[in-house]
Structure 1
Amino acid sequence: MHMVATPNRRMQQVLKASMGLTFAYVLATFVFGLRAHSLALISEAGHNLSDLLAIILSYVAVYFQARPANEKKTFGYQRAGVLAAFVNAGTLVVLSIWIALTAIERLHTPVEVQPRLMMGVAAAGVVMNGTIAALLWRFSKDVNIRSVFLHMLGDTLSTAAVIGGGAAILFTGMSWVDPVLSLVIAAMILWSSVGILRETLNILLEGTPRNMQLGAVREAMEGVPGVLDVHDLHVWSLGAQSHALASHVRIDEMPASECSGILTELNGRLHDLFHITHTTIQFETSGCETIHGCSSPPEAEAVGAHGHHHGHSH
């Protein structure tokens, strides 16, 4: 029987194909960059080498993300992809600085380049990088894959710029165009990587998920009938698309059997409005005392532990 590939499996297949194509292009751009004396092409080789490492790292992360939770990793390996994206973005920052410094040096010491060879190799790069970027786009909601997608999209644009630079050098003889293009490429790499660094660092530091307002979450929870107050509220990301919440909720005094309806409504709102898939909610029926050790960002609120009821949603 033919098995339908899962999204995770399809993602792995796309990453494998991307690895093969990128490795071939790294060799081509480096060899022909040396022959053409083109810093822009050699910069592309370095950029694509970082892409290759990024793809390998992302492939490993996708493999680990698919592994189930266990007693030592109770949330599984959901942050493997986030960590891979953080490392990828960090390497891109370093690479962009290296390219910029080399380009500045080349501006002071010009080197004659071979524009026709530049243009030919860059044209092949536009096709290859564009194809890989298109394949990765469908999975780009995952921050791990999005970091690789931005690598490849940046490569597509920068190799297209190399073609334009080669044409400019061919018709005008201005060799300074090559290092200036390298500076543009470096700026593009830096710009694309900083956003990924900020997002992944926020996840690793368990910050509130991007585009989510804690006040809006509290307001939605307090809108459930029977809920008097929401405090000690924490929301964080387990992975790029998986969010968790822990909170104390003060409710009217009622039999424990009636609490399940409130809990169901809370979890439903959190899932539908904020895509929060894991919750730990503690019910209380009276005011809270600070002595019980709760912390309530961003507002300081009293905390207590009377009439506790825990609700978990996965």
Structure 2
Amino acid sequence: MHVHAPSTAKMQRVLRLSLVATLAYVVLTLLAGLRAHSLALISEAGHNASDALALVLSFVAVHFQSRPATDRKTFGYQRAGVLAAFLNALTLILISLWIGMEAVHRFAAPAVVQPRIMMLVAAAGVLMNGVIALLLWRVSHDVNMRSVFVHMLGDTLSTAAVIVGGAAIFITGRSGHPWLWLDPALSLAIAALILWSSFGIVKETLNILLEGTPRGLSLTEIRTQLEQIEGVEDVHDLHVWCLGSQTNALASHVTIADIPPSESARILEQINGTLRASFHIHHTTIQFEHTNCPVAHGCVMPVEAVTSHAHHHH
């Protein structure tokens, strides 16, 4: 997948803007949270700090991904974004566990919070996150940008919850019995939200980093379709993996009869056509073997290896 320059520049602009806004908001929520004694606000700061981290990593990743392939990195830097999302999600899991522990302490010893500050700061956050989420949604295509977008959306919702909580504490406080437990309850919910979104990202990115079969692809199905092509006798040593979050590659040995190269070229065309049309696999390495060779011993005869590399165009 070649990241086209204009979309990359646009992505980087949006990320830069989001980053500045998010960092400013982290500082604001942290100070306000300390001042209002609100754990929900402090957890929002943690949540947003994690977002800022996500943005920084995505920024670096978008930058790396747009660098061309070199002789030393033959697939370019597509994995940079995946690795970024993975590390980011791990940090998030730690932050959410810390918030969870703090919240449990708070239930035992409730702190008096200042609901007005809670509501004001959260309202500012909803506005900011909403705008950023909208901007990101317009440029989000790969897993890395998607993880950032999901974050922002989650943020908008959790910040909205903080406003509601602040309002409830404010109203109940006027009758002299403020519902102080709402504050740690909200922070637990926010922690759970961070945890849930992080696990999803860890699972998806780990699958890519461990060269797992791409989501939604079945090897059996690929094998069955290829073996239906006329002239293909057997498909073995089949591998499919993700290069980045968008690009899949396939390598396989295909057994065919001992036929002239012009014939085998037609078979290769059909194989690649099927892979492109049915499975969106554009990067293939197909090695032909002839039936008269002892496949059991891994093919001792000289084998013609045919590589095709059609670039992925959006």
Q: TM-score scaled to structure 1, two decimals? A: 0.92
SS of residue in 2 equivalent to 1:111: coil
- Aligned residue type for 1:147: S
Structure 1 CA distance for aligned equivalents of residues 9 and 269 of structure 2:
33
Q: Is the 8 A contact 2:5 2:66 kept in 1?
A: no
Segment of structure 1 superposing worse, 79-88 or 135-144: 135-144
Matched, 1:185 2:190: yes
User: What is the CA distance between 1:253 and its match in structure 2?
Assistant: 2.5
- Aligned residue type for 1:262: I
SS of residue in 2 equivalent to 1:69: coil
Where does the alignment leave 5 or more consecutive residues of structure 1 unmatched?
Answer: 293-302
Larger relative contact order (Cα-Cα within 8 Å, sequence gap ≥ 6): 2
Aligned to 1:199: 204
Structure 1 CA distance for aligned equivalents of residues 152 and 284 of structure 2:
36
SS of residue in 2 equivalent to 1:208: coil
User: What is the CA distance between 1:139 and its match in structure 2?
Assistant: 3.7
User: What is the CA distance between 1:307 and its match in structure 2?
Assistant: 4.3
User: What is the CA distance between 1:306 and its match in structure 2?
Assistant: 5.6
Aligned to 2:295: 289
Matched, 1:233 2:229: no
Superimposed CA distance per residue, residues 201-229 of structure 1 (whole angstroms, 9 cap, x where no aligned partner) = 00000000011111111112112221111
- Aligned residue type for 1:310: V
Aligned to 2:273: 268
Identity %: 60
Write out aligned runs for 1:1-314 (5 A).
6-172=6-172, 173-286=178-291, 288-292=294-298, 307-314=303-310
User: What is the CA distance between 1:103 and its match in structure 2?
Assistant: 0.6
SS of residue in 1 equivalent to 2:234: strand
Q: Is the 8 A contact 1:209 1:235 kept in 2?
A: yes
Structure 1 CA distance for aligned equivalents of residues 138 and 228 of structure 2:
36
Q: Is the 8 A contact 1:58 1:144 kept in 2?
A: yes
Superimposed CA distance per residue, residues 47-91 of structure 1 (whole angstroms, 9 cap, x where no aligned partner) = 111111210111011101111111111111110000000011111
SS of residue in 1 equivalent to 2:252: strand
Q: Is the 8 A contact 1:263 1:311 kept in 2?
A: no
Structure 1 CA distance for aligned equivalents of residues 128 and 270 of structure 2:
49
Q: Is the 8 A contact 1:250 1:285 kept in 2?
A: yes
Q: 1:42 to 1:310 in 2, by over 3 A?
A: same
- Aligned residue type for 1:195: G
- Aligned residue type for 1:57: L
Q: TM-score scaled to structure 2, two decimals? A: 0.92
SS of residue in 2 equivalent to 1:276: coil
SS of residue in 2 equivalent to 1:6: helix
User: What is the CA distance between 1:5 and its match in structure 2?
Assistant: 6.2
User: What is the CA distance between 1:136 and its match in structure 2?
Assistant: 1.6
Q: 1:291 to 1:252 in 2, by over 3 A?
A: closer
Greater than 4 Å deviation, 4+ residue runs: 303-307
Q: CA RMSD in A?
A: 1.6
Structure 2 CA distance for aligned equivalents of residues 214 and 124 of structure 1:
49
Where does the alignment leave 5 or more consecutive residues of structure 2 unmatched?
Answer: 173-177
Structure 2 CA distance for aligned equivalents of residues 232 and 258 of structure 1:
22
Q: 1:168 to 1:288 in 2, by over 3 A?
A: farther
Structure 2 CA distance for aligned equivalents of residues 51 and 187 of structure 1:
15
Superimposed CA distance per residue, residues 108-165 of structure 1 (whole angstroms, 9 cap, x where no aligned partner) = 1110011121111111111111211122223433111112112211111110110111
User: What is the CA distance between 1:176 and its match in structure 2?
Assistant: 0.6
Q: 1:279 to 1:202 in 2, by over 3 A?
A: same
User: What is the CA distance between 1:252 and its match in structure 2?
Assistant: 2.7
User: What is the CA distance between 1:170 and its match in structure 2?
Assistant: 1.1
Superimposed CA distance per residue, residues 12-39 of structure 1 (whole angstroms, 9 cap, x where no aligned partner) = 1111111111011111111111121111
Q: Is the 8 A contact 1:267 1:313 kept in 2?
A: no
